[in-house]
Amino acid sequence: MLQGRKFLLILLLAAVGLLLLLSVAVPITFREEITVPLGLTRTTELFTDRSMLGKWVVPGISSGDDSVYVRRARPDGVELVYHVDGDDHLYEYLLERLREPRRSCAVRLEKSTSLWKHYFDASPVDRLAHASLESLRVFANDSKKLYGFRIGIGQPADSSYLFMTRQVPRALQYIQPVLLLDSLIEFANHRFMRYNGNRYTNSDPRPNGMMQVTVGIGIEGSPILHAGDPVTVKKSPPGQQQVQLEYTGLMTGLPAAYKALDQYKRDHGIIVTDIPLEMLISPGYGFGATDTVSLKLVTPYLTNNP
């Protein structure tokens, strides 16, 4: 009986030793995967565009003598080299276009290593590479980080609008909206239309130094206009959605917001149905170039390209 127990103990110790040996010596491929809400080309740009790479790669890796750079980019993956403490460490991030959700991409990091190293003795660079993958997921799913502004899809604040449009010299682009909004609100009150306080503007450059200025207000109901009225009425169709960007800053900073909104629409294949409007959040109207304003850039949104 005693000899049998010794044999079982020896067998158990041998099995444990074998498992430890295998965990140290036998390489296994470990995979970690994230999903980003961008197409394959745009996802690749997050690696190959140096300015974008620096925004999500783990902080500190691009400082001092340490750095990260792309060695090779292919349609299905990107090879990143982490240069740390004078040595190069290569990691391949595999990219795959997903069918669902549309315009999304899987990013996968594969590493062949032993069980022991993976769970108990991972190299600092391995941890950096995996931490960067998680950082990429957070970055790509946060519009503020990716575009510099909060951008998303929402419901229009109004179902009926009253609009007025004029072409004026570009020098009057900050003055004309005041005059038009005053006229528009006065018109609505004169016709007993229920103006709800929402104000919209749009300024579109035209040739020969001219600017097309459009202003609008939110109203309730479906007012009837007469021939010759200097206004138009628009209604949002059922189920209408809009792309919207939240902006707070100087009026002179709006071009950057429009550029970010255009990039968002391209990234998500959004088809718009009308001109973008600046929905004023700040009280009043008639803001100058150096005024600070809070507003939403809103664009009616129909559907996505596949």
Q: What is the pLDDT of residues 119-145, one digit of tens each?
A: 444 577 888 888 899 999 999 999 999
Q: Are both 70 and 184 inside the same structural domain?
A: no
Confidence at residue 215, expressed as pLDDT on a 0 to 100 scale: 94
Q: Are both 178 and 265 inside the same structural domain?
A: yes
Q: Are both 106 and 166 inside the same structural domain?
A: no
Confidence at residue 21, expressed as pLDDT on a 0 to 100 scale: 44
Q: Are both 94 and 181 inside the same structural domain?
A: no
Residue 109 located in a structural domain: yes
Query: Which range of residues forms the domain containing residue 199?
Result: 152-304
- Of the three residues 141, 176, 198, the one that is the final residue of a domain is 141
Q: Are both 289 and 180 inside the same structural domain?
A: yes
Distance CA 56, CA 34 (A): 14
Q: Which helix (H) or strand (E) holds 45?
A: helix 40-48
Confidence at residue 18, expressed as pLDDT on a 0 to 100 scale: 44
Number of domains within the chain: 2
Residue 146 located in a structural domain: no
CA proximity to 216, closest of 262, 155, 285, 282: 285
Confidence at residue 222, expressed as pLDDT on a 0 to 100 scale: 78
Encoded amino acid at 28, one letter: I
Residue 19 located in a structural domain: no
DSSP string, 67-95: EEEEEEEETTEEEEEEEETTEEEEEEEEE
CA 64 and chain centroid, separation: 30
Distance CA 174, CA 278 (A): 13
Q: Are both 114 and 162 inside the same structural domain?
A: no
Q: Are both 161 and 137 inside the same structural domain?
A: no
Residue 235 located in a structural domain: yes
Q: Are both 123 and 186 inside the same structural domain?
A: no
Q: Are both 234 and 170 inside the same structural domain?
A: yes
The answer to whether the pTM exceeds 0.85 is: no
SS3 245: strand
Distance CA 152, CA 137 (A): 17
Q: What is the CATH number of the domain that holds 32?
A: 3.30.530.20
Confidence at residue 82, expressed as pLDDT on a 0 to 100 scale: 87
- Of the three residues 141, 170, 191, the one that is the final residue of a domain is 141
Which residue numbers in the chain have pLDDT < 70?
A: 1-30, 59-66, 112-122, 302-306
SS3 144: helix
Q: Which residue in this structure is represented by tokens 């005059």?
A: 179
Residue 99 located in a structural domain: yes
Confidence at residue 24, expressed as pLDDT on a 0 to 100 scale: 46
Residue 147 located in a structural domain: no
- Of the three residues 141, 167, 198, the one that is the final residue of a domain is 141
* Cβ atoms within 10 Å of 183's Cβ, excluding its own: 15
Confidence at residue 19, expressed as pLDDT on a 0 to 100 scale: 46
pLDDT tens readout for residues 197-247: 999 999 888 988 899 999 999 998 878 888 889 999 998 888 788 999 999
Q: Are both 118 and 195 inside the same structural domain?
A: no
SS3 272: strand
The answer to whether the beta carbons of residues 177 and 215 sit under 8 Å apart is yes
DSSP state of 223: P
The answer to whether the beta carbons of residues 295 and 278 sit under 8 Å apart is yes
Q: Are both 292 and 169 inside the same structural domain?
A: yes
Please count the CA atoms within 13 angstroms of the CA of 93 that sit on its side-chain side: 33
Strand ordering across the sheet containing 67-74: 27-36, 104-114, 87-98, 77-84, 67-74
Q: Which residue in this structure is represented by tokens 């007469």?
A: 226
